[in-house]
Amino acid sequence: MQIEILKKSYAEVHFIVRGVSPRFMNSLRRAMMADVPVMAVDDVYIVENTSVMYDEVLAHRLGLIPLKTDLDYYVLPEECGCGSETGCHKCSAVLVLNVEGRENGVTVVYSKDLKPHEANPEVKPVNEKIPIVKLAPGQRIKLEAYARLGKAIKHAKWSPVVRCTYKYYPVILIVDSKCTGCGLCIDVCHKNVFTLKSGKAYVVNQLECDLCDECVDRCAQNALNVDFDKNSLIFFLETTGSLPAWKVLSEACRILKLKSEAFLKQLNELGVV
């Protein structure tokens, strides 16, 4: 297996992986999407809500706000031994929202108004500018929100990723002797894969190709051949910002390994292997 990083930042990683089957990378993709836990608001205790938004809708919206997550400190509620309904400092974090509509105009309540309790200052919204609700003058919202670790297999609000996809590595061949430089492949390609060089089509953005074959269909000279390497994939991962991309990737690998070991152990006990 060979990995080549194309792009790396806090929330994003793009890479080429060679010498793997799509089945393996799909298992990893599904583990990233469904099994890596992140923090999300799970219970909301509403003290006062005189806005036009129902309590249930307000609680739902709070649940969808991505929160900064520390997987090294917090544990899943079902794995915590505290037995408390609201949780303890290891399985639950508290955030507070206390806003009143100003006297003139409309007050927009943003995610930055959802303040972490002083006991867990690191658990806070990833983005400060997510609108939650609008308040008219005098309307008021006061609530306590309890955030917990969870997995997206139970509810999508616990998904750590916004983009988690892969595609085959494209292989594009241009037969120079057949190419007349008509430029039809350039006109039809929405990914700008081709350019004209010395009167011939030339590949400049091979990795951008999404294998639509539109250029092959339009080339009257049959000068183009678009194929893919079935053992090489280009992977795109972008997180909500709750966790860094490398952490989501490494956690998914760890979870897949644990699952494989548990499966093997069962097979051993049954005497299959």
User: Whole-number minimum distance, CB 152 to Zn ion, in Å?
Assistant: 21
User: Whole-number minimum distance, CB 149 to Zn ion, in Å?
Assistant: 10
Closer of 37 and 241 to Zn ion (Cβ): 37
Pull the structure tokens for residue 138: 């005098």
DSSP line for 82-112: ---SS--TTT-EEEEEEEE--SSS-EEEEGG
Is residue 82 at the binding interface for Zn ion, with CB under 5 A as the rule? yes
Query: Which range binds Zn ion by CB under 5 A, 10-18, 89-97, 249-257, 265-273?
Result: 89-97
Contact 169, 235 (CB under 8 A): no
Rule CB under 5 A: which of 22-61 touch Zn ion?
Answer: none
User: Whole-number minimum distance, CB 77 to Zn ion, in Å?
Assistant: 6
3-state DSSP assignment of residue 174: strand
- The candidate with the shortest Cα–Cα distance to 235, out of 171, 163, 172, is 163
> What end-to-end distance do the CA atoms of the chain give, in Å?
26
Closer of 41 and 172 to Zn ion (Cβ): 41
Closer of 42 and 238 to Zn ion (Cβ): 42
Query: Which range binds Zn ion by CB under 5 A, 18-26, 72-80, 140-148, 204-212?
Result: 72-80
Q: How many CB atoms lie within 10 A of CB 15?
A: 17
User: Whole-number minimum distance, CB 4 to Zn ion, in Å?
Assistant: 42
Closer of 64 and 82 to Zn ion (Cβ): 82
Pull the structure tokens for residue 187: 């006109």
Query: Applying CB under 5 A, which of residues 91, 189, 219, 237 lies at the interface with Zn ion?
Result: 91
- The candidate with the shortest Cα–Cα distance to 68, out of 122, 114, 132, is 122
Query: Applying CB under 5 A, which of residues 31, 80, 123, 249 lies at the interface with Zn ion?
Result: 80
User: Whole-number minimum distance, CB 80 to Zn ion, in Å?
Assistant: 3
Pairing of strands 38-49, 140-150: antiparallel
Pull the structure tokens for residue 200: 């011939």
- The candidate with the shortest Cα–Cα distance to 113, out of 92, 137, 129, is 129
User: Whole-number minimum distance, CB 151 to Zn ion, in Å?
Assistant: 17
Query: Applying CB under 5 A, which of residues 6, 88, 204, 207 lies at the interface with Zn ion?
Result: 88
Query: Which range binds Zn ion by CB under 5 A, 88-96, 105-113, 209-217, 262-270?
Result: 88-96
Burial class of 105 by CB neighbour count within 10 A (0 to 12, 13 to 18, 19+): exposed
Which residues are at the interface with Zn ion (CB under 5 A)?
80, 82, 87-88, 90-91
